[in-house]
Amino acid sequence: MSGKELVFAAMPGGWEMVVIALVILLLFGAKKLPELARGLGQGIKEFKGAVDGAKDELKDAQDAMESEGNAEDKETS
């Protein structure tokens, strides 16, 4: 088996997804599902915002280091 086949072997198929959805529906009930989905969506949105913020901070730090390096090069020339 190649690596790609191994990945797809571990993923649930169509009927397994239906069974999982039914189990979730039975556990939480139809009234709670929209609330759970909304909370999950807000969590994902906050996570993406945090990741973007961290990327921006890293880029700013990299730009600052590059500008310091350029300033030092001009001073030594």
CA distance 11 to 51: 27
pLDDT in tens, 3-25: 566 666 667 778 888 898 889 88
The per-residue pLDDT for 50 is: 96
For 39-43, which contacts have Cβ atoms below 8 Å and span 24 or more sequence positions? none
Predicted TM-score of the model (pTM): 0.54
CA distance 9 to 61: 42
Count how many residues are written for the chain.
Answer: 77
- Residue 12 per-residue DSSP state: -
pLDDT band at residue 29 using 50, 70 and 90 as cut-offs: confident
pLDDT in tens, 30-70: 888 889 889 999 999 999 999 999 999 999 999 999 888 77
pLDDT band at residue 2 using 50, 70 and 90 as cut-offs: low
